[in-house]
Amino acid sequence: MTKSIIFDMDGTLFQTNKILEISLSETFEYLRVKEGWEGETPIEKYREIMGVPLPVVWENLLPNYSNDVRIMANDFFHAKLIDNIYKGNGELYPNVTETFAYLKSNGYTIFVASNGLPEYLSAIVEYYKLNQWLTDVYSIQQIESQDKAELVRILVQKYNITGGALVGDRISDIRAAKSNGLLSIGCNFDFAQAEELQHADRIINDISELKSILEEGAFQIE
């Protein structure tokens, strides 16, 4: 049996809020100059929808703009996120590396499945040297449907995962876990919403709490 833990990235392993506001502010300042954006930067709106695929993000943040403008804004925002990662403005959540070390030493393979773009995920993995623990990183951009459950299904099939859990902070993570027969572990972190977390099998307030959950026994795909 291959024991595996699949993690979401934003709001689960990486404290996206550390770079979110500054990157979004830089993007909307750019939009004010280039596209005549008026009003405040919609940071709270972004927080509400955090975890959905990026095209949906920009449909919500720029509802009255063309798709070309949304793509331009997304590209600019993405570049700023990566820039801020390499400037050291971001941070992993407490106990991530310690928990990864525990998982590896106990025979678990570790994956990331995220709605983030590949270059963004690679920047986080590279900057924080996560490759020493991760077996693979999957981005929603790898599939046409933009459905996280399908993304996880592809990962599960490729690596013949027969037991484990999916750890994330939003409903898309919980649904992806359940549809693939994995234990769903909800992270009560920055972007989590109580009405979504209530659907998770377990809820944690710190990533280190995974240890006690996993020590209860193996998880079989039904």
Render pLDDT for 64-86 as a digit per residue (tens, 0 to 9). Answer: 999 999 999 999 999 999 999 99
40/127 Cα distance (integer angstroms):
31
Cα angle 50, 220, 140; round to 5: 30
User: Per-residue pLDDT tens for 96-112?
Assistant: 999 999 999 999 999 99
Amino acid 217: pLDDT: 65
Amino acid 204: pLDDT: 96
Question: Are 53 and 115 within 8 A, CB to CB?
Answer: yes
Where residue 147 falls (left for φ over 0; alpha for ψ -120 to 50; beta otherwise) is beta
Q: Which portions of the chain are predicted below pLDDT 70?
A: 1-2, 51, 217-222
Amino acid 1: pLDDT: 52
Q: Please write down the HEC assignment for all residues of the chain.
A: CCEEEEECCECCCECCHHHHHHHHHHHHHHHHHHHCCCCCCCHHHHHHHCCCCHHHHHHHHCCCCCHHHHHHHHHHHHHHHHHHHHCCCCCECCCHHHHHHHHHHCCCEEEEEECCCHHHHHHHHHHCCHHHCEEEEEEHHHCCCCCHHHHHHHHHHHCCCCEEEEEECCHHHHHHHHHCCCEEEEECCCCCCHHHHCCCCEEECCHHHHHHHHCCCCCCCC
What are the structure tokens assigned to 122, written together?
A: 């690679």
Give me the architecture of the 3-15+91-214 domain, per CATH.
3-Layer(aba) Sandwich (3.40)
Amino acid 189: pLDDT: 94
Question: Are 7 and 173 within 8 A, CB to CB?
Answer: no
Amino acid 221: pLDDT: 43
Which distant-in-sequence residues (6+ apart) come within 8 Å of 211 by Cβ?
A: 99, 102
Considering only CA atoms, give the Rg of the chain.
17
117/171 Cα distance (integer angstroms):
19
What are the structure tokens assigned to 32, written together?
A: 């004010």
Cα angle 171, 174, 175; round to 5: 85
Amino acid 219: pLDDT: 56
Which distant-in-sequence residues (6+ apart) come within 8 Å of 73 by Cβ?
A: 27, 30, 31, 58, 61, 62, 65
Amino acid 218: pLDDT: 46
